[in-house]
Amino acid sequence: MARPNLELIEALRRTARNLQQGAHYQWGHMGGCNCGNLAQELTKLSKDQIHRYAMERYGDWNEQVDDYCPTSAMPIDLVINEMLNAGLTLEDLKHLEKLDDRAVLHRFPLEQRHLRHNVRNDVVLYMTTWADLLEDQLLEKIKLPQEITEVALVA
């Protein structure tokens, strides 16, 4: 699972909001799909640049991730590297493309866990829920000084 951090949480939320507000979405387009939209937010590259970089090698995001090499200097590997530097893992990218990370899905009621990987509204819901999960994980790591905790309990 991704390393919880503010940059990633905010990028997920901005991506979900952009998609909800009508940003280009096309699951079969490497720059306009689930990973492509998040990559746009994290790298500030356009959907067309990301797609062009991905087309220098074969395959969808799963295959690109499988072939990822941090030292290759292939443009798509540089994109993936930036995403990893933001706190994502290679597995996160695969799960995002298919909307199938169990930790994220377990936050939904059982009858709502069958998200469709190529449906905009399902992508928005998944990214928003994933951001909430990462935020909860981040907050769990924050330790407040004892005096602040005691004051909060008294109030």
User: pTM of the predicted model, to two decimals?
Assistant: 0.88
Provide the pLDDT for residue 149: 53
CA–CA gap between residue 72 and residue 56 (Å, rounded): 13
With bands split at pLDDT 50, 70 and 90, how would you rate the model's confidence at 142? confident
Confidence of residue 79 (pLDDT cuts 50, 70, 90): very high
Burial class (CB in 10 A: 0-12, 13-18, 19+), 116: exposed
State yes or no: pLDDT of 12 exceeds 80. yes
Tell me: pLDDT of 152 over 60.
no
The encoded tokens of residue 98 equal 């298919």
Average pLDDT over residues 64-74: 92
